[in-house]
Each structure stands twice: as structure tokens, then as C-alpha cells.
């Protein structure tokens, strides 16, 4: 008989959003923390550049708000942005409380800068900020005896009755059994969907599971067309998904063509530190005009010891591939990096479904609008995890017992056609890269929509016939999320922020969100 678990709070995802939510919840609540892979795996672990906050006496909240709003291109929600920015110093303090040691310059934070910021305000731990955050939050979580960890457990679907969330069905990847997790409150903290693209800076976990589950549960999904492409991922046949942090440009790194000629001044006065949409499109244009495989990022003019001290991870990685970044320029290309849209929430992380919350990259809180400013994502994870946990803590006395029936696997068989799953996975990612990328057109979007609809039908058939597996769960979510991205992109008949359609190159006067809800 498959297991049935009962918890006060179920948290799906152990990135910075999930871990911080768990830590901030009252010690009186029983909490299940679920990860579909290793507990530390997820985008959070790989974050390099840092986390933004007003920490310098010459900086101020108004400027951080303004920079974020201006990057968001008319779709940023000012109230949500102000909330995030004003809570940023406290977010840094909470991380330090968990043991994160930010890089210091004498007694002050060493603050770096990245695209869109008009002031140095990015606190960091050399170039491994995410790793330090994850290791320290995880240590704190393990010390709490009200939190139970479930590694290698992948959520399939939320348990919904009368628009109220009762937990989730979750596949135990160790036993291949589907277990029911019944909870009073559920927090989705499953990260983004950049694996929908062939080339991405993200780890394998970013398959849009939370967005797809929430959509099927009738949550409001907002602004999915805004996929952020990071301008500089390492271009090398043996480097899978390795990012070259924007902080390297913040410290003066120049983008150049193979002949050493700089080009960003031709596109934007802020040159290498223009927001990411502008830099990624500029690189994409150079690659297409000159028929290049990549462009180059040059920091070699800096002293070798300085480079090794500030960017130790990048230095070592490149060195392992035969690139000495103190001598050679680094080959780079843009790749899918961040999902700006997602499950719509309010400032407490609440979705439109009762007792269901979404926090972190999976959520659309309004703080990123049409483009996310660098290093505002970890900040969003920490700030909104805290407000979500506080909201749940305030209601904990009214929790009621819930029930749900077991998963029924009596009508499905073991598949002998697993090749179908891997083929469709690959096809979706190629469609998205080729037709729904940095520069879009009506025709390419329509083609993508047509083929994704067919794939959706094929996946639905397969899902009904065969026993569930981790790859199948992700495939089902990947195609659903890809469709949401394309549907949103088609409905936006303008170019704004990260969404550029060459058939609608102008930005409309009125800025409106793209809102989707399953009927």
C-alpha cells in the first residue's frame, strides 16, 4: 500500500526559496521539504554574481526601485518592488544569521555591480554566492527537528478540491511508488523553466514543474513570454550550462568579436552594463551578421591574482578547459537563464487557489515585469519566502485536518517505448530554441504552437497508458510550460523587454500583463 503522509506544511523545492520558507516557518509546524533531485541541486546552488541590496551609505531605496522599474519596462509592480527593496538589508542579515559570509573589503561589504544597477549594490561570496547560501541554509534546516527532508521525490500534481489545495501526489524515485502528501498549506518553490530551451545556464531541475502543476490546478499564470537569456554562457563543447557572471562585466570585462573589436557601444550607451535583453540581442545580432559560433569576453587586462581572488570558480573552470582567462578572452554565447513569468501571487506568496503559495523563480510577484535586473532573483526568493512563512505562521492555529484518496495506477502498464519520451524532450527544446528564442516572429511562433499542440496530445496519450516515471513527469510539464510561453508570446503584439518580435518591433504605449488561466 503506497504511503500517505500528513504535514502542516508541504514545501516542494529545496532551492533558496524553499529552504528559506522552511526556516522562517514556526517551529510548532510539521514541515515536509521535497526535492526531486539531490537536496542541494537547483539554480540557487549555481548563482554566481550575488544578491542586490542597498548596503552602501551613498545608495538609497528609491534608486534601487527606479533601476528595477526601468529594467522591467513598464510591467514592474511598484508596490512589490518597493516591498522587496526595503526588505533587502534584512534579507542579507537573515542569510548572515544562517552563516553566509559575504566578501568584505576591510569592514564593509565588497559590493559589485551588474547590468541595470546605477550603483554598486551586489553583495556576493566571491563568485559562488549561491553555493554558500545553499550550504548554510541547508545546515540550519537540518538542525530543526520539525522539518522532514525527502530527497529524490518528484511532485506530480497538486491535490485540489473545490479550489482548495490539500497537498500533492509525489513519486518516490527510490521505490517508484506514488505517495500522497496531505498538508494544510502547500508552498511551490520549484524554480524556473529554462530547460524548455536547448541551451541554458540552468541545471536539469528547471523543467517548469511548478508552473505546469499550478496551471493544471487553475492558478493564474502571468507573463510567461519573458524568458531571460543570459548574454554570457561559456561556449565550449565540454562545458554544459556554465555561466560567466555578469559581475565580470561589472568589473570592466569587455565583449569583443574574434578580431578583438568591441561592439556594445554601437547598441547602448551603458555598453557591457546595459540590461540583459539589450546585451543578449546585441550578441545574437553579431553572431548572425558575421556567421560566428560565439563572441568573446575579455578580462585579461586585470592582474592575474585579482582575477583568481574575485572569480575563483570561473578561473578554475576555464583553466580546466585550457583557457587562461588572465591571458585569453573567454568564448561566450547567450543561453536561456531565467523565467520572469510564473504563478501569480500577492506579497505573501498566496496564489488564487486557497492554501497554495508560490515562492521564488516559479512565482510572478510583479517585481521583474518584462525583464529581471541582475541579482534581484535571490533577493526575491529570500524576501518573499519570509513574507509567505509569516503569513502561514499567523494562521497556524486555524489549521484543519484534510483527506484525499490514494493515487490509482491500476489502469496503466510498463512502457517499452521510453525512446518516445527522450525524443519528445529533445524536440521541445529545439523548437523553443529555434522558434521562440531571443528574436521571434509571428510565423515562427505559430509553427512552434502547432507542433507543441501535437506533442501535447502525444504526451497525454502516453501519460494515460504507461506507468509514471520521473522523465515522463518532466516531459508533461515541459510541454505544458513551453505552450504557455508560446501562447503568451503570440498574444503580445509588441516588443517589450525580453520579448522581441520582428513583426511587431515597437513597444505599445500601454503596458499590459499577459494573464492565462485554465478554464
Residues near ligand FAD, by CB under 6 A = 12-18, 34-37, 41-44, 46-51, 129-130, 154-155, 189-191, 201-202, 205-206, 209, 243, 338, 360-362, 375-378, 381
- Quote the least distance from Cβ 12 to ligand FAD, whole Å: 5
Pseudo-torsion of CA 186, 484, 78, 43, nearest 10°?
60
User: Quick one: what does residue 15 bind among ligand SIN, ligand FAD, none, with the CB cut-off 5 to 8 Å set by partner type?
Assistant: ligand FAD
Measured from the Cβ of residue 284, the count of other Cβ atoms closer than 10 Å reads: 19
Look at residues 251, 369, 254, 248 and name the one whose alpha carbon lies nearest to residue 318: 248
Distance of CA 280 to the CA centre of its chain: 18
- Quote the least distance from Cβ 188 to ligand FAD, whole Å: 9
Pseudo-torsion of CA 315, 318, 324, 325, nearest 10°?
-60
Distance between CA atoms of 493 and 450, rounded to whole angstroms?
18
Q: Which of residues 49 and 341 has its CB atom nearest to ligand SIN in the complex?
A: 49
User: Quick one: what does residue 41 bind among ligand SIN, ligand FAD, none, with the CB cut-off 5 to 8 Å set by partner type?
Assistant: ligand FAD
User: Quick one: what does residue 35 bind among ligand SIN, ligand FAD, none, with the CB cut-off 5 to 8 Å set by partner type?
Assistant: ligand FAD
- Quote the least distance from Cβ 243 to ligand SIN, whole Å: 6
Q: Tell me how far CA of residue 463 lies from CA of 188, 233, 294, 412, in angstroms.
A: 23, 35, 39, 9
Q: Which of residues 385 and 490 has its CB atom nearest to ligand FAD in the complex?
A: 385
Question: Is the separation of the CB atoms in 454 and 410 below 8 Å?
Answer: no
User: Quick one: what does residue 36 bind among ligand SIN, ligand FAD, none, with the CB cut-off 5 to 8 Å set by partner type?
Assistant: ligand FAD
- Quote the least distance from Cβ 134 to ligand FAD, whole Å: 8
What are the phi and psi torsion angles at 498 (to 5°)? -80, -15
Q: Which of residues 11 and 445 has its CB atom nearest to ligand FAD in the complex?
A: 11
Distance between CA atoms of 257 and 260, rounded to whole angstroms?
5
DSSP letter at 297 equals: E
- Quote the least distance from Cβ 408 to ligand FAD, whole Å: 20
Residue 307: exposure state from Cβ atoms within 10 A (0-12, 13-18, ≥19): buried
Which residues in this chain contact ligand SIN in the complex, by CB under 6 A?
48-49, 245-247, 374-375, 377
Active-site annotation holder among 121, 249, 276, 444: 276
276 classed as catalytic: yes
Q: Which of residues 8 and 114 has its CB atom nearest to ligand SIN in the complex?
A: 114
Query: Which active-site residues does the annotation give?
Result: 276
Amino acid at each position: 500500500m503506497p504511503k500517505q503522509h500528513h504535514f502542516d506544511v508541504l514545501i516542494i523545492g529545496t532551492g533558496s526559496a524553499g529552504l528559506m520558507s522552511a526556516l522562517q516557518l514556526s517551529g510548532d509546524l510539521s514541515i515536509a521539504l521535497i526535492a526531486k533531485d539531490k537536496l542541494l541541486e537547483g539554480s540557487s546552488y549555481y548563482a554566481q554574481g550575488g544578491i542586490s541590496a542597498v548596503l552602501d551609505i551613498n545608495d538609497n531605496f528609491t534608486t534601487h526601485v527606479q533601476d528595477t522599474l526601468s529594467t522591467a519596462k513598464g510591467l514592474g509592480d511598484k508596490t512589490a518592488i518597493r516591498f522587496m527593496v526595503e526588505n533587502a538589508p534584512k534579507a542579507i542579515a537573515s542569510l548572515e544569521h544562517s552563516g553566509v559570509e559575504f566578501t568584505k573589503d576591510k569592514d564593509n561589504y565588497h559590493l559589485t555591480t551588474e547590468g541595470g544597477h546605477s550603483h554598486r549594490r551586489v553583495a556576493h561570496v566571491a563568485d559562488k554566492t549561491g553555493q554558500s547560501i545553499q550550504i548554510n541554509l541547508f545546515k540550519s534546516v537540518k538542525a530543526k527537528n520539525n522539518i522532514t527532508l525527502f530527497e529524490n521525490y518528484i511532485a506530480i500534481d497538486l491535490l485540489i478540491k473545490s479550489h482548495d489545495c490539500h497537498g500533492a501526489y509525489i513519486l518516490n524515485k527510490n521505490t517508484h511508488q506514488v505517495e500522497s502528501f496531505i498538508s494544510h498549506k502547500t508552498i511551490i518553490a520549484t524554480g524556473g523553466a529554462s530547460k524548455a530551451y536547448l541551451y541554458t545556464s540552468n541545471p536539469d531541475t528547471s523543467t517548469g514543474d511548478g508552473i505546469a502543476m499550478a496551471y493544471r490546478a487553475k492558478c493564474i499564470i502571468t507573463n510567461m513570454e519573458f524568458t531571460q537569456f543570459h548574454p554570457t554562457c561559456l561556449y565550449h563543447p565540454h562545458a554544459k550550462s556554465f555561466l560567466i557572471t555578469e559581475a565580470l562585466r561589472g568589473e570592466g570585462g569587455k565583449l569583443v568579436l574574434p578580431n578583438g573589436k568591441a561592439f556594445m557601444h554601437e547598441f547602448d550607451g551603458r555598453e557591457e552594463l546595459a540590461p540583459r535583453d539589450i546585451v543578449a540581442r546585441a550578441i545574437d545580432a553579431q553572431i548572425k551578421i558575421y556567421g560566428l559560433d560565439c563572441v568573446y569576453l575579455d578580462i585579461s587586462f586585470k592582474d592575474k591574482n585579482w582575477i583568481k581572488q574575485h572569480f575563483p570558480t570561473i578561473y578554475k573552470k576555464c583553466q580546466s578547459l585550457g583557457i587562461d582567462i588572465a591571458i585569453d578572452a573567454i568564448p561566450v554565447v547567450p543561453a536561456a537563464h531565467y523565467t520572469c513569468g510564473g504563478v501569480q501571487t500577492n506579497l505573501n506568496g498566496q496564489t488564487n487557489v486557497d492554501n497554495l503559495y508560490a515562492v521564488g523563480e516559479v512565482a510572478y510577484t510583479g517585481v521583474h515585469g518584462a525583464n529581471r535586473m541582475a541579482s534581484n532573483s535571490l533577493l526575491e526568493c529570500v524576501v518573499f519566502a519570509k513574507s509567505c512563512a509569516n503569513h502561514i505562521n499567523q494562521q497556524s492555529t486555524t489549521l484543519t485536518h484534510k483527506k484525499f484518496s490514494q493515487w490509482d495506477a491500476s489502469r496503466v502498464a510498463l512502457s517499452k517505448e521510453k525512446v518516445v519520451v527522450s525524443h519528445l524532450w529533445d524536440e521541445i527544446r529545439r523548437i523553443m530554441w529555434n522558434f521562440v528564442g531571443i528574436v521571434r516572429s509571428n510565423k515562427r511562433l505559430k509553427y512552434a504552437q502547432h507542433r507543441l499542440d501535437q506533442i501535447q496530445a502525444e504526451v497525454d496519450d502516453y501519460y494515460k497508458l504507461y506507468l509514471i516515471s520521473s522523465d515522463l513527469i518532466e516531459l508533461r510539464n515541459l510541454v505544458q510550460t513551453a505552450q504557455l510561453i508560446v501562447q503568451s508570446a503570440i498574444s503580445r503584439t509588441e516588443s517589450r523587454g525580453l520579448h522581441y518580435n520582428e513583426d511587431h518591433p515597437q513597444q505599445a504605449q500601454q503596458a499590459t500583463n499577459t494573464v492565462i488561466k485554465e478554464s
